[in-house]
């Protein structure tokens, strides 16, 4: 498995700030006047991020955050309120699912830096990331039932897989917000930090030292194995273990260990 090298362009976005910090791509959602609510236009910009990362082999991790006092406070309510047709509403749900699904499927590790409110579609975006780092003042929840709605961007599926069915139903059926500490206790967030972005970058720095092909295949093993039986999952793991043993990164990693030096992974 090799990360393709392609000519990458510096993107221009209206609602996102995309920058590189070394080998970490940092994407900041920028609609602070509406607490970074997810409009169709913003979702369409987010859809370009996985492609950008795939065409830049230097990127080894992605950190997503929001500007101001919210990560993302939900979907755009005026836009949702205007959904009157079953087909149009279904398409809106599928758009969000597709965008978040592409982020979840990214071969690089993805981290949500939850710096405030992560509600509704915002929490669903964070759930699509591999890891979640929350600041102490973060508030998380899926309040859709209070609007007579259900979560539509993957929340009913990803949340129970992360925290279990009972805890997921508690959040989904009450629509309540949980603070960072409770979210951490239930396994909804992986780490707490005084500053979510700084904490997420620190976590990303730990991650990017490792072999990128190995990390992509480890992610694949976890996600493909999740919905199959244990024997089938172990078969997937063995297949991917076989694949990774043929990579240049594997030879570099083992040689570096034996030679007591730091490995220099190339993603090949």
264 carries an active-site annotation:
no
| pLDDT at res. 268 | 86
| pLDDT at residue 31 greater than cutoff 70 | yes
Give me the catalytic one of 45, 144, 220, 235. 144
Overall pTM > 0.75: yes
- Euclidean distance between CA atoms 64 and 53, whole angstroms: 13
**What is the structure's pLDDT at 78?**
84
220 given a catalytic annotation: no
| Tens of pLDDT, residues 105-127 | 999 999 999 999 999 999 999 99
Question: In this predicted model, what pLDDT tens digit does every residue of 47-106 receive, in sequence order?
Answer: 999 999 999 989 999 999 999 999 999 988 888 888 888 998 999 999 999 999 999 999
Separation CA 38–CA 161 (nearest Å) = 23
Q: From edge to edge, which strands make up the β-sheet containing 110-114?
A: 16-21, 24-29, 61-66, 110-114, 131-135, 191-193
> What is the residue whose two structure tokens read 């030096």?
261
Check pLDDT > 80 for residue 1.
Answer: no
Q: Identify the pLDDT of residue 79.
A: 85
Domains of the chain: residue spans and CATH: 16-208 (3.90.226.10), 212-258 (1.10.12.10)
State the catalytic residue, choosing from 124, 182, 220, 268.
Answer: 124
DSSP, residue by residue, 157-197: HHHHHHH-HHHHHHHHHH--EEEHHHHHHTTSSSEEESSHH
pLDDT digits (tens, 9 = 90+) for 224-247: 999 899 999 999 999 999 999 999
Confidence check: pLDDT of 7 > 90: no
pLDDT value of position 75: 86
Q: pLDDT digits over 162-207, tens only?
A: 999 999 999 999 999 999 999 999 999 999 999 999 999 999 999 9
Phi-psi region for residue 148, left (φ > 0), alpha (ψ -120 to 50) or beta? Answer: left
Averaged pLDDT, 16-26: 95
């Amino acid at each position: 498995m090799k990360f393709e090298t392609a000519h990458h362009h510096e993107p221009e976005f209206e609602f996102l700030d995309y920058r590189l910090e070394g080998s970490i791509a940092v994407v900041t959602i920028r609609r602070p006047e509406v607490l970074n609510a997810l409009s169709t236009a913003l979702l369409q910009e987010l859809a370009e991020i996985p492609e950008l990362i795939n065409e830049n082999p230097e990127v080894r991790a992605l950190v997503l955050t929001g500007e101001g006092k919210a990560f993302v406070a939900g979907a755009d309510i005026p836009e949702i309120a205007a959904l009157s047709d079953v087909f149009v509403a279904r398409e809106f749900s599928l758009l969000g699912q597709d965008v978040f699904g592409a982020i979840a499927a990214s071969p690089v590790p993805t981290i949500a830096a939850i710096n405030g409110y992560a509600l509704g579609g915002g929490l669903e975006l964070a759930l699509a990331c591999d890891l979640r780092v929350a600041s102490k003042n973060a508030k998380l929840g899926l309040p859709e039932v209070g609007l007579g709605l259900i979560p539509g961007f993957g929340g009913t599926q990803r949340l129970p897989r992360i925290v279990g069915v009972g805890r997921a139903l508690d959040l989904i059926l009450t629509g309540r917000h949980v603070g960072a500490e409770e979210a951490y206790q239930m396994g909804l967030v992986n780490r707490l930090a005084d500053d979510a972005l700084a904490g997420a970058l620190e976590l990303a720095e730990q991650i990017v030292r490792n072999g990128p092909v190995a990390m992509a295949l480890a992610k694949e093993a976890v996600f493909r194995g999740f919905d199959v039986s244990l024997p089938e999952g172990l078969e997937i793991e063995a297949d991917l273990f076989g694949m990774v043993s043929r990579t240049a990164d594997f030879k570099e990693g083992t040689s570096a260990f034996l030679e007591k030096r730091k490995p220099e992974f190339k993603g090949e």
